[in-house]
Amino acid sequence: MGTGLNEREGELEAFTADEAAAGARLDQWLTGACAGTLSRNRIKHLIEQGRVRLNGETVAEPKRKLRAGDRVELALPEPEDPEPAPEAIPLSVLYEDADVIVIDKPAGLVVHPGPGNPSGTLVNALLAHCGDTLSGIGGVKRPGIVHRLDKETSGVMVVAKNDRAHQALSAQFADHGRTTGMRRAYLALVWGAPDRMTGTIETFLGRSSRDRMKQAVVGETQPDARYAVTHFKVLERYGDPTGASPVASLVECRLETGRTHQIRVHMAHVGHPLIGDQDYGKGFSTKANTLPSPLREAVSGFTRQALHAASLAFEHPASGELMTFQSPLPADMTELASGFRQAFGKT
Protein backbone atom coordinates (compact mmCIF):
# COMPACT_ATOMS: atom_id res chain seq x y z
CA MET A 1 0.00 0.00 0.00
CA GLY A 2 1.16 3.60 0.35
CA THR A 3 1.04 6.73 2.41
CA GLY A 4 -2.19 8.25 3.63
CA LEU A 5 -3.70 11.64 2.98
CA ASN A 6 -0.92 14.18 3.11
CA GLU A 7 -2.52 17.38 1.85
CA ARG A 8 -5.89 18.88 0.99
CA GLU A 9 -6.24 21.32 -1.87
CA GLY A 10 -9.67 22.92 -1.98
CA GLU A 11 -12.03 20.23 -3.25
CA LEU A 12 -9.15 17.88 -4.05
CA GLU A 13 -7.61 15.27 -1.77
CA ALA A 14 -4.05 14.51 -2.76
CA PHE A 15 -1.97 11.40 -1.97
CA THR A 16 1.52 10.16 -2.82
CA ALA A 17 2.24 6.45 -3.28
CA ASP A 18 5.27 5.04 -1.49
CA GLU A 19 7.48 2.08 -2.39
CA ALA A 20 4.99 -0.43 -0.94
CA ALA A 21 2.30 0.81 -3.37
CA ALA A 22 4.24 -0.22 -6.48
CA GLY A 23 2.11 -2.57 -8.60
CA ALA A 24 -1.09 -2.02 -6.60
CA ARG A 25 -4.41 -1.35 -8.33
CA LEU A 26 -5.43 2.30 -8.24
CA ASP A 27 -8.95 1.64 -6.88
CA GLN A 28 -7.74 -0.76 -4.19
CA TRP A 29 -4.91 1.46 -2.99
CA LEU A 30 -6.99 4.63 -3.04
CA THR A 31 -9.71 2.96 -0.95
CA GLY A 32 -7.19 2.30 1.80
CA ALA A 33 -5.61 5.72 1.45
CA CYS A 34 -8.95 7.44 2.03
CA ALA A 35 -8.89 6.38 5.69
CA GLY A 36 -12.05 4.30 5.46
CA THR A 37 -14.34 7.14 4.38
CA LEU A 38 -15.23 5.75 0.93
CA SER A 39 -16.07 2.21 -0.17
CA ARG A 40 -14.16 0.50 -2.97
CA ASN A 41 -17.26 0.62 -5.20
CA ARG A 42 -17.57 4.36 -4.55
CA ILE A 43 -13.89 4.87 -5.42
CA LYS A 44 -14.31 2.81 -8.60
CA HIS A 45 -17.27 4.93 -9.74
CA LEU A 46 -15.39 8.17 -9.01
CA ILE A 47 -12.47 6.94 -11.13
CA GLU A 48 -14.81 5.98 -13.97
CA GLN A 49 -16.45 9.42 -13.73
CA GLY A 50 -13.08 11.08 -14.33
CA ARG A 51 -12.70 12.43 -10.81
CA VAL A 52 -9.21 10.97 -10.27
CA ARG A 53 -5.96 12.30 -11.69
CA LEU A 54 -2.69 10.39 -11.78
CA ASN A 55 0.38 12.61 -12.01
CA GLY A 56 -1.80 15.44 -13.31
CA GLU A 57 -3.67 13.42 -15.95
CA THR A 58 -7.24 12.16 -15.63
CA VAL A 59 -7.38 8.38 -15.43
CA ALA A 60 -10.57 6.33 -15.86
CA GLU A 61 -9.21 2.83 -15.31
CA PRO A 62 -9.76 1.48 -11.77
CA LYS A 63 -7.28 -1.35 -12.50
CA ARG A 64 -4.46 1.04 -13.39
CA LYS A 65 -1.24 -0.04 -11.67
CA LEU A 66 0.67 2.40 -9.48
CA ARG A 67 4.36 3.19 -9.26
CA ALA A 68 6.25 4.51 -6.26
CA GLY A 69 6.12 8.30 -6.21
CA ASP A 70 2.85 8.56 -8.16
CA ARG A 71 0.70 11.51 -7.15
CA VAL A 72 -3.00 10.72 -6.98
CA GLU A 73 -5.66 13.46 -6.76
CA LEU A 74 -9.29 12.74 -5.93
CA ALA A 75 -11.99 15.35 -6.63
CA LEU A 76 -14.94 14.71 -4.35
CA PRO A 77 -18.38 15.88 -5.52
CA GLU A 78 -20.36 18.22 -3.35
CA PRO A 79 -22.63 16.36 -0.92
CA GLU A 80 -26.28 16.34 -1.89
CA ASP A 81 -27.77 15.20 1.39
CA PRO A 82 -30.79 17.20 2.54
CA GLU A 83 -30.52 19.42 5.57
CA PRO A 84 -31.84 17.63 8.68
CA ALA A 85 -35.13 18.88 10.11
CA PRO A 86 -35.96 19.53 13.78
CA GLU A 87 -37.78 16.64 15.47
CA ALA A 88 -39.35 16.62 18.93
CA ILE A 89 -37.29 13.75 20.32
CA PRO A 90 -36.90 13.77 24.13
CA LEU A 91 -33.42 14.57 25.43
CA SER A 92 -31.85 13.89 28.82
CA VAL A 93 -30.03 17.20 29.40
CA LEU A 94 -27.34 17.16 32.08
CA TYR A 95 -26.28 20.80 31.59
CA GLU A 96 -26.94 23.67 29.21
CA ASP A 97 -25.86 27.28 28.80
CA ALA A 98 -25.31 29.69 25.90
CA ASP A 99 -22.21 27.81 24.71
CA VAL A 100 -22.71 24.09 25.29
CA ILE A 101 -25.29 21.45 25.96
CA VAL A 102 -24.37 18.17 27.68
CA ILE A 103 -26.70 15.24 27.18
CA ASP A 104 -26.98 11.66 28.39
CA LYS A 105 -27.48 9.74 25.13
CA PRO A 106 -29.55 6.56 25.32
CA ALA A 107 -28.51 3.40 23.50
CA GLY A 108 -30.19 3.13 20.12
CA LEU A 109 -30.02 6.83 19.25
CA VAL A 110 -27.90 7.65 16.17
CA VAL A 111 -25.85 10.83 16.58
CA HIS A 112 -26.22 12.35 13.11
CA PRO A 113 -28.09 11.55 9.87
CA GLY A 114 -26.44 9.17 7.45
CA PRO A 115 -27.19 6.24 5.11
CA GLY A 116 -30.07 4.30 6.59
CA ASN A 117 -30.74 6.97 9.23
CA PRO A 118 -31.98 10.13 7.49
CA SER A 119 -33.99 11.23 10.53
CA GLY A 120 -34.69 10.38 14.15
CA THR A 121 -31.14 11.24 15.22
CA LEU A 122 -29.61 13.26 18.02
CA VAL A 123 -29.01 16.09 15.56
CA ASN A 124 -32.71 16.21 14.72
CA ALA A 125 -33.51 16.36 18.44
CA LEU A 126 -30.92 19.08 19.07
CA LEU A 127 -32.25 21.22 16.23
CA ALA A 128 -35.69 21.11 17.84
CA HIS A 129 -34.32 21.78 21.32
CA CYS A 130 -31.77 24.49 20.50
CA GLY A 131 -33.36 26.11 17.46
CA ASP A 132 -31.01 28.26 15.37
CA THR A 133 -28.32 28.52 18.05
CA LEU A 134 -26.41 25.37 17.03
CA SER A 135 -22.95 25.78 15.58
CA GLY A 136 -22.64 25.17 11.85
CA ILE A 137 -18.94 24.34 11.79
CA GLY A 138 -19.63 20.63 11.68
CA GLY A 139 -21.63 21.00 8.45
CA VAL A 140 -25.36 20.98 7.87
CA LYS A 141 -25.67 17.30 8.81
CA ARG A 142 -23.56 17.54 11.99
CA PRO A 143 -24.29 20.97 13.50
CA GLY A 144 -22.55 21.35 16.84
CA ILE A 145 -21.20 17.79 16.90
CA VAL A 146 -17.58 17.68 18.13
CA HIS A 147 -17.46 13.98 19.04
CA ARG A 148 -19.77 11.02 18.70
CA LEU A 149 -20.88 7.79 20.31
CA ASP A 150 -21.90 4.69 18.37
CA LYS A 151 -25.62 4.17 17.99
CA GLU A 152 -25.73 1.42 20.61
CA THR A 153 -23.33 3.12 23.04
CA SER A 154 -24.97 5.15 25.79
CA GLY A 155 -23.65 7.98 27.92
CA VAL A 156 -22.33 11.53 28.16
CA MET A 157 -21.87 13.79 25.12
CA VAL A 158 -21.18 17.50 24.80
CA VAL A 159 -22.44 19.59 21.86
CA ALA A 160 -21.35 23.10 20.88
CA LYS A 161 -24.02 25.78 20.51
CA ASN A 162 -21.92 28.38 18.69
CA ASP A 163 -18.83 28.57 16.49
CA ARG A 164 -16.47 29.73 19.25
CA ALA A 165 -17.47 26.82 21.46
CA HIS A 166 -17.17 24.40 18.54
CA GLN A 167 -13.62 25.47 17.78
CA ALA A 168 -12.54 25.32 21.44
CA LEU A 169 -14.09 21.91 22.10
CA SER A 170 -12.81 20.45 18.82
CA ALA A 171 -9.29 21.52 19.81
CA GLN A 172 -9.64 19.79 23.18
CA PHE A 173 -10.82 16.55 21.63
CA ALA A 174 -8.01 16.69 19.07
CA ASP A 175 -5.52 17.23 21.91
CA HIS A 176 -6.89 14.18 23.77
CA GLY A 177 -6.20 15.75 27.15
CA ARG A 178 -2.45 16.11 26.66
CA THR A 179 -2.48 19.82 27.56
CA THR A 180 -6.06 20.32 28.76
CA GLY A 181 -8.36 18.79 31.35
CA MET A 182 -10.22 16.71 28.76
CA ARG A 183 -10.95 13.23 30.13
CA ARG A 184 -13.24 10.43 28.90
CA ALA A 185 -14.06 7.24 30.77
CA TYR A 186 -16.22 4.35 29.63
CA LEU A 187 -17.60 1.31 31.41
CA ALA A 188 -17.68 -1.99 29.53
CA LEU A 189 -18.88 -5.48 30.37
CA VAL A 190 -16.52 -7.90 28.65
CA TRP A 191 -16.09 -11.65 28.32
CA GLY A 192 -13.41 -13.00 30.63
CA ALA A 193 -11.00 -10.62 32.32
CA PRO A 194 -7.56 -9.20 31.51
CA ASP A 195 -4.73 -10.92 33.40
CA ARG A 196 -3.79 -7.59 34.98
CA MET A 197 -6.03 -5.26 36.97
CA THR A 198 -4.70 -2.24 35.06
CA GLY A 199 -2.97 -1.89 31.74
CA THR A 200 -2.64 -0.11 28.41
CA ILE A 201 -3.53 -1.31 24.92
CA GLU A 202 -1.46 0.45 22.26
CA THR A 203 -1.91 -0.35 18.55
CA PHE A 204 -2.66 1.12 15.14
CA LEU A 205 -6.26 0.93 13.93
CA GLY A 206 -7.54 1.05 10.36
CA ARG A 207 -10.13 -0.35 8.00
CA SER A 208 -10.42 -4.15 8.17
CA SER A 209 -9.29 -5.98 5.04
CA ARG A 210 -11.97 -8.64 5.65
CA ASP A 211 -14.91 -6.31 6.21
CA ARG A 212 -14.61 -2.70 5.03
CA MET A 213 -17.38 -1.66 7.43
CA LYS A 214 -15.25 -2.61 10.43
CA GLN A 215 -12.06 -1.39 12.05
CA ALA A 216 -9.14 -3.66 12.93
CA VAL A 217 -5.68 -3.65 14.45
CA VAL A 218 -3.41 -3.03 11.46
CA GLY A 219 0.21 -2.47 10.61
CA GLU A 220 1.67 0.99 10.98
CA THR A 221 2.26 1.23 7.22
CA GLN A 222 -1.39 0.74 6.19
CA PRO A 223 -2.49 4.03 4.57
CA ASP A 224 -5.33 4.67 7.00
CA ALA A 225 -3.51 3.40 10.10
CA ARG A 226 -4.06 5.64 13.13
CA TYR A 227 -2.29 5.37 16.47
CA ALA A 228 -4.68 4.30 19.25
CA VAL A 229 -4.20 4.04 23.02
CA THR A 230 -6.69 2.73 25.60
CA HIS A 231 -5.98 2.53 29.33
CA PHE A 232 -8.06 -0.01 31.25
CA LYS A 233 -8.84 -0.85 34.88
CA VAL A 234 -10.72 -3.96 35.97
CA LEU A 235 -13.42 -2.92 38.46
CA GLU A 236 -15.16 -6.25 39.02
CA ARG A 237 -14.41 -9.84 38.02
CA TYR A 238 -17.19 -12.39 37.96
CA GLY A 239 -15.42 -15.56 38.97
CA ASP A 240 -16.20 -19.17 38.30
CA PRO A 241 -16.89 -21.21 41.47
CA THR A 242 -14.72 -24.02 40.08
CA GLY A 243 -11.70 -21.74 40.21
CA ALA A 244 -11.37 -21.31 36.47
CA SER A 245 -10.77 -17.98 34.77
CA PRO A 246 -13.41 -15.26 35.34
CA VAL A 247 -16.45 -15.60 33.11
CA ALA A 248 -16.82 -11.85 32.62
CA SER A 249 -15.72 -8.53 34.09
CA LEU A 250 -16.64 -4.88 34.41
CA VAL A 251 -13.83 -2.74 33.00
CA GLU A 252 -13.24 1.01 32.98
CA CYS A 253 -11.61 2.26 29.77
CA ARG A 254 -10.01 5.68 29.47
CA LEU A 255 -9.23 7.00 26.02
CA GLU A 256 -5.92 8.63 25.22
CA THR A 257 -6.97 8.74 21.56
CA GLY A 258 -10.43 8.69 20.04
CA ARG A 259 -10.56 6.33 17.06
CA THR A 260 -13.65 4.74 15.52
CA HIS A 261 -14.76 1.71 17.60
CA GLN A 262 -11.51 2.00 19.56
CA ILE A 263 -12.59 0.34 22.82
CA ARG A 264 -14.54 -2.38 21.03
CA VAL A 265 -11.62 -3.29 18.77
CA HIS A 266 -9.00 -3.04 21.52
CA MET A 267 -10.86 -5.25 23.99
CA ALA A 268 -11.52 -7.83 21.28
CA HIS A 269 -7.84 -7.65 20.31
CA VAL A 270 -6.74 -8.71 23.81
CA GLY A 271 -9.28 -11.53 23.86
CA HIS A 272 -12.04 -9.88 25.88
CA PRO A 273 -14.70 -8.54 23.50
CA LEU A 274 -17.67 -6.60 24.79
CA ILE A 275 -20.73 -8.64 25.69
CA GLY A 276 -23.40 -8.12 23.03
CA ASP A 277 -20.97 -6.81 20.41
CA GLN A 278 -22.16 -8.42 17.17
CA ASP A 279 -19.34 -6.88 15.13
CA TYR A 280 -16.22 -7.59 17.17
CA GLY A 281 -17.40 -10.29 19.58
CA LYS A 282 -19.59 -12.49 17.43
CA GLY A 283 -17.33 -15.47 17.98
CA PHE A 284 -18.17 -15.32 21.69
CA SER A 285 -21.95 -15.27 21.21
CA THR A 286 -22.29 -19.00 21.96
CA LYS A 287 -20.71 -18.50 25.40
CA ALA A 288 -24.15 -17.46 26.60
CA ASN A 289 -25.23 -21.09 26.18
CA THR A 290 -22.80 -22.13 28.94
CA LEU A 291 -24.31 -19.75 31.51
CA PRO A 292 -26.88 -20.72 34.13
CA SER A 293 -30.47 -19.54 33.79
CA PRO A 294 -31.75 -16.78 34.02
CA LEU A 295 -28.36 -15.17 33.19
CA ARG A 296 -28.22 -17.19 29.98
CA GLU A 297 -31.46 -15.61 28.74
CA ALA A 298 -30.36 -12.13 29.86
CA VAL A 299 -27.10 -12.33 27.92
CA SER A 300 -28.75 -13.86 24.84
CA GLY A 301 -31.27 -11.03 24.85
CA PHE A 302 -28.67 -8.29 25.26
CA THR A 303 -28.41 -7.11 21.66
CA ARG A 304 -26.13 -4.07 21.94
CA GLN A 305 -22.47 -3.76 22.87
CA ALA A 306 -22.24 -3.35 26.65
CA LEU A 307 -20.49 0.03 26.53
CA HIS A 308 -21.37 3.23 28.38
CA ALA A 309 -19.69 6.66 28.32
CA ALA A 310 -19.72 7.12 32.08
CA SER A 311 -17.88 10.42 32.48
CA LEU A 312 -16.65 13.36 30.46
CA ALA A 313 -14.51 16.28 31.61
CA PHE A 314 -13.66 19.33 29.51
CA GLU A 315 -12.69 22.97 29.93
CA HIS A 316 -15.61 25.28 29.32
CA PRO A 317 -15.01 27.05 25.98
CA ALA A 318 -15.86 30.48 27.39
CA SER A 319 -14.81 30.47 31.06
CA GLY A 320 -12.05 27.87 30.96
CA GLU A 321 -13.59 26.18 34.01
CA LEU A 322 -13.01 22.43 34.22
CA MET A 323 -16.42 20.77 34.06
CA THR A 324 -17.04 17.10 34.81
CA PHE A 325 -20.23 15.19 34.03
CA GLN A 326 -21.14 11.64 34.93
CA SER A 327 -23.83 9.22 33.86
CA PRO A 328 -24.70 6.18 35.97
CA LEU A 329 -24.64 2.76 34.40
CA PRO A 330 -27.94 2.38 32.47
CA ALA A 331 -30.57 -0.10 33.61
CA ASP A 332 -29.79 -2.76 30.99
CA MET A 333 -26.09 -2.91 31.87
CA THR A 334 -26.83 -2.68 35.60
CA GLU A 335 -29.14 -5.69 35.36
CA LEU A 336 -26.59 -7.62 33.32
CA ALA A 337 -23.80 -6.94 35.83
CA SER A 338 -26.13 -7.91 38.67
CA GLY A 339 -26.91 -11.18 36.91
CA PHE A 340 -23.22 -12.07 36.71
CA ARG A 341 -22.68 -11.16 40.37
CA GLN A 342 -25.56 -13.35 41.48
CA ALA A 343 -24.45 -16.26 39.31
CA PHE A 344 -20.70 -16.17 39.97
CA GLY A 345 -19.96 -13.65 42.70
CA LYS A 346 -17.39 -10.89 42.21
CA THR A 347 -13.78 -10.27 43.09
- When the pLDDT of each residue in the chain is averaged and rounded to a whole number, the result is 90
Least confident of 4-8, 31-35, 136-140, 171-175: 4-8
- For domain 185-344, the CATH class is alpha beta
| CATH, range 93-175 | 3.30.2350.10
pLDDT tens, 65-109?
999 999 999 987 765 556 889 999 999 999 999 999 999 999 999
Concerning whether 99 is annotated as a catalytic residue, the answer is no
Nearest Cα to Cα of residue 255 among 178, 190, 337, 189: 178
Q: Is 124 helix (H, G, I), strand (E, B) or coil?
A: helix
pLDDT over threshold 80, residue 10: no
Catalytic residue among 70, 99, 150, 279: 150
Tally the C-alpha atoms within 13 A of residue 299's C-alpha that lie toward its C-beta: 27
Return d(Cα 265, Cα 263) in angstroms, integer. 6
Residues of the chain with CATH 3.10.290.10: 7-75
pTM given for the model? 0.77
Q: Give the residue, 37 or 205, on which the prediction is more confident.
A: 205
**pLDDT band at residue 347 under the 50/70/90 scheme:** confident
- Under CATH, what is the fold of the domain 7-75? 3.10.290
pLDDT value at position 11? 56
Return d(Cα 114, Cα 34) in angstroms, integer. 18
Residues of the chain with CATH 3.30.2350.10: 93-175, 185-344
pLDDT value at position 81? 52
What integer is the mean pLDDT of 233-243?
83
**pLDDT band at residue 213 under the 50/70/90 scheme:** confident
pLDDT value at position 5? 38
pLDDT tens, 221-230?
998 999 999 9
